[in-house]
Amino acid sequence: MRHSSVSSSKGCKLATTATPDMFSLFRATCDAAPDAPFLIGEDGAVLTYAGARARSAQLAHAFRNAGVQPGDRIAIQVEKSQTALLTWLAALQAGAVYLPLNTAYTIGEVRYFLGDASPALVLCRPADEPAMAALCAELGVPALLTLDADGSGGSLIEAAAGQPTAFDHARVQPDGLAAILYTSGTTGRSKGAMLSHANLASNALTLREYWRFTGDDRLLHALPIFHTHGLFVATNTTIAAGSAMIFLPKFDADALVRLMPQASVLMGVPTFYTRLLGHPGFTRELAEGVRLFVSGSAPLSAETHKEFNALTGQAILERYGMTETNMNTSNPYDGQRRPGSVGFPLPGVALRIADPDSAAALPQGEIGVIEVKGANVFGGYWQMPEKTREEFRADGFFITGDLGFIDADGYVHIVGRAKDLIIAGGFNIYPAEVEAALDEIPGIAESAVIGVAHPDMGEAVVAVVKVTDAGLDQTAVLAALTDRIARFKQPRAVVTVDELPRNAMGKVQKALLRETYGALFAKT
Ligand code: AMP
């Protein structure tokens, strides 16, 4: 993919003739605007691009001194902090492959990742050091460093202190490996998605243009940084544009409301938006200075989209991507941001809807599996050549496993994961359609629809709903659905809960729901 020269509003020219590697992208921004803010703390303290370059160079020396060579993996399981983010830039300078791990993973789960990826270095929380040291000894991981929760202490900080503030950036090829991100692995073994510099940099440059990022932007960052959304979509796009991030340790609606007047962009998962809508301090006036609200990682309900629009006058921009592909589609910057839709394929991304079995392309409007191809799409799963082959078509399209259709105007809609498809009495039922109908019922805050084994039907539809109206029981919900969706799609059981179980990215944990309610129709 070729990019022409683009100027940011600060007049810094980021000229790229071919997709650069990720560190070159960062360096180009540093050279163009060294004094521009990169990270802004909750207290307003600013770390400039030049400052971030110097600190990450020191961290890169610490990595190199610990034995990390270009191509080696660095596994990271630490709390979110500015230093934690700088380890990404440090790994890039050292030519290492970055492997961030969800902070919620137990030591038993981490064993699998370390055994699979054989990193040269592990960076962990100080409290985990004894258990991690034993694990590293068992698995032959040669180096272990620690970093504390606010990023100011730990053996990494000691190792970086006094190191040179410049690092001779390891030369890497654009198609060289930049990161391995393990998929959340709701079924079977978690797989390591291998992401190249070109995958990441091309997507960052595309998003910079599509979402109009400039050096004037301040992105309110409250996402975790072990996942593609907070680490790559937010951070790499910021770097590509020379923007700044107001960097919060975690999501906190009060902090978001307090800092929103300083921000021009918010990137969030749908839960951010439902929580903001429930916050008394979130008003139209507060949202006015924000030019762009982005949502992704899980479906944003059309109801939330409309409610947000009614309150603020602004339309949330929903986009769709995944760990393996970076971002695939986005609603338009100008033009209609359609509720319930993830928008159009991004420039450079080919997207088609295919029959899951025959792989034949399906006509517009029909539901099938979403397949994508482009510079954004990963090269394969770490040490899983067969799994990789299974998930690519012969012509190079990646089979996402998401089911969707393209409407008459070209907008892509997602109706669920292939594995979540419910087949009841021979009929296909798409959970997203039933969830949308449930969400429209006054008194239902949110819903999740699953298929549960049923003696007659094979599977039966079960709705798990969070209600704001305590009087809304199964009978009332089913009555409200009568004219909304066909009889065969209606739930056989409606369960009310206080909260839907969600993972760190706001995705409803349907596997957990299936486990909990799996025996609902079992014959006793
Ligand atoms: P992850 O690899 O953790 O980012 O998860 C990727 C998956 O999240 C996709 O395959 C989709 O199933 C889902 N996803 C991401 N964005 C959206 C969206 N805007 N609407 C619906 N599902 C989404």
Instruction: Tell me the C-alpha distance between 224 and 231, whole Å.
Output: 7
Instruction: Please state the φ and ψ torsions of residue 224, each to the nearest 5 degrees.
Output: -65, 160
- CA-closest residue to ligand 1 atom 10: 322
Instruction: Tell me the C-alpha distance between 166 and 24, whole Å.
Output: 14
Ligand 1 pocket (Cβ < 6 Å) reads 183-184, 228, 296-299, 318, 320-323, 342, 400, 402, 414, 417, 505
Helices 82-94 and 22-32: crossing angle in degrees, nearest 10, is 110
Q: How far is the CA of 382 from the centre of ligand 1 (A)?
A: 21
- What one-character-per-residue DSSP string does 265-316 give? EEEE-HHHHHHHHT-TT--HHHHTT--EEEE-SSPPPHHHHHHHHHHHS---
Residue range 421-517 forms a domain whose CATH class is alpha beta
Query: Taking the domain 49-167, which CATH number applies?
Result: 3.40.50.980
Q: Where does the chain hold its CATH 3.40.50.980 domain(s)?
A: 49-167
- CA-closest residue to ligand 1 atom 23: 298
Q: How far apart, in Å, are the Cα atoms of 73 and each of 29, 183, 211?
A: 26, 17, 32
Q: How far is the CA of 377 from the centre of ligand 1 (A)?
A: 14
- CA-closest residue to ligand 1 atom 21: 299
Instruction: Tell me the C-alpha distance between 225 and 237, whole Å.
Output: 14
Q: How far is the CA of 402 from the centre of ligand 1 (A)?
A: 8
Instruction: Tell me the C-alpha distance between 247 and 82, whole Å.
Output: 7
Q: How far is the CA of 505 from the centre of ligand 1 (A)?
A: 9
Q: How far is the CA of 296 from the centre of ligand 1 (A)?
A: 7
- CA-closest residue to ligand 1 atom 9: 322
Q: Where does the chain hold its CATH 3.40.50.12780 domain(s)?
A: 5-10+205-417
Instruction: Tell me the C-alpha distance between 273 and 257, whole Å.
Output: 12
Atom of ligand 1 nearest to the CA of 319: 19
Q: How far is the CA of 161 from the centre of ligand 1 (A)?
A: 40
Q: Which two tokens stand for residue 387?
A: 């799994």
Q: How far is the CA of 230 from the centre of ligand 1 (A)?
A: 14
Cβ atoms of 67 and 143 closer than 8 Å: yes
Atom of ligand 1 nearest to the CA of 193: 2
User: How do the pLDDT tens digits run along the chain, 524 residues long?
Assistant: 333 332 333 333 343 447 889 999 999 999 999 999 999 999 999 999 999 999 999 999 999 999 999 999 999 999 999 999 999 999 999 999 999 999 988 898 899 999 999 999 999 999 999 999 999 999 999 999 999 999 999 999 999 999 999 999 888 889 999 999 998 754 457 899 999 999 999 999 999 999 999 999 999 999 999 999 999 999 999 999 999 999 999 999 999 999 999 999 999 999 899 999 999 999 999 999 999 999 999 899 999 999 999 999 999 999 999 999 999 999 999 999 999 999 999 999 999 999 988 899 999 999 999 999 999 999 999 999 999 999 999 999 999 999 999 999 999 999 988 888 898 877 788 898 899 999 999 999 999 999 999 988 889 999 999 999 888 999 999 999 998 888 889 999 999 999 999 988 888 999 999 999 999 998 76
The number of C-alpha atoms within 13 Å of 207 and in the hemisphere containing its C-beta is: 32
Cβ neighbours, 10 Å, residue 443 = 14
The rounded Cα 367 to chain-centroid distance in angstroms is 24
- CA-closest residue to ligand 1 atom 6: 322
Q: How far is the CA of 319 from the centre of ligand 1 (A)?
A: 9
Q: How far is the CA of 313 from the centre of ligand 1 (A)?
A: 26
Residue-wise pLDDT for 210-227, tens only, equals 999 999 999 999 999 999
- What one-character-per-residue DSSP string does 438-461 give? HHTSTTEEEEEEEEEEETTTEEEE
43-77 burial, b if ≥16 CB within 10 A, otherwise e?
eeeebbbbbbbbbbbbbbbbbbebebeeebbbbbb
Which residue of 391, 414, 421 sits with most ligand 1 atoms within 8 Å of its CB, as the best mutation to test the pocket? 414
Cβ atoms of 19 and 247 closer than 8 Å: no
Kindly report the length of the chain.
524
DSSP state of 389: H
CATH domain 5-10+205-417 topology: Rossmann fold (3.40.50)
Name 245's Cβ contacts closer than 8 Å, sequence gap at least 6.
38, 39, 40, 218, 219, 220, 221, 234, 235, 238
Q: Which two tokens stand for residue 276?
A: 């903001």
Instruction: Tell me the C-alpha distance between 296 and 269, whole Å.
Output: 5
Which residue of 180, 402, 439, 502 sits with most ligand 1 atoms within 8 Å of its CB, as the best mutation to test the pocket? 402
Mean pLDDT of the chain: 93
Cβ neighbours, 10 Å, residue 505 = 20
Q: Where does the chain hold its CATH 3.30.300.30 domain(s)?
A: 421-517
Amino acid identity at 262: Q
- CA-closest residue to ligand 1 atom 4: 322
Instruction: Tell me the C-alpha distance between 51 and 159, whole Å.
Output: 18
The number of C-alpha atoms within 13 Å of 170 and in the hemisphere containing its C-beta is: 23
Q: How far is the CA of 269 from the centre of ligand 1 (A)?
A: 10
Q: How far is the CA of 185 from the centre of ligand 1 (A)?
A: 13
Instruction: Tell me the C-alpha distance between 69 and 142, whole Å.
Output: 12
Atom of ligand 1 nearest to the CA of 417: 12
**β-pairing, 380-381 with 192-196?**
antiparallel
Instruction: Tell me the C-alpha distance between 202 and 36, whole Å.
Output: 23
Atom of ligand 1 nearest to the CA of 295: 19
Residue-wise pLDDT for 430-459, tens only, equals 898 899 999 999 999 999 999 999 988 889
- CA-closest residue to ligand 1 atom 15: 297
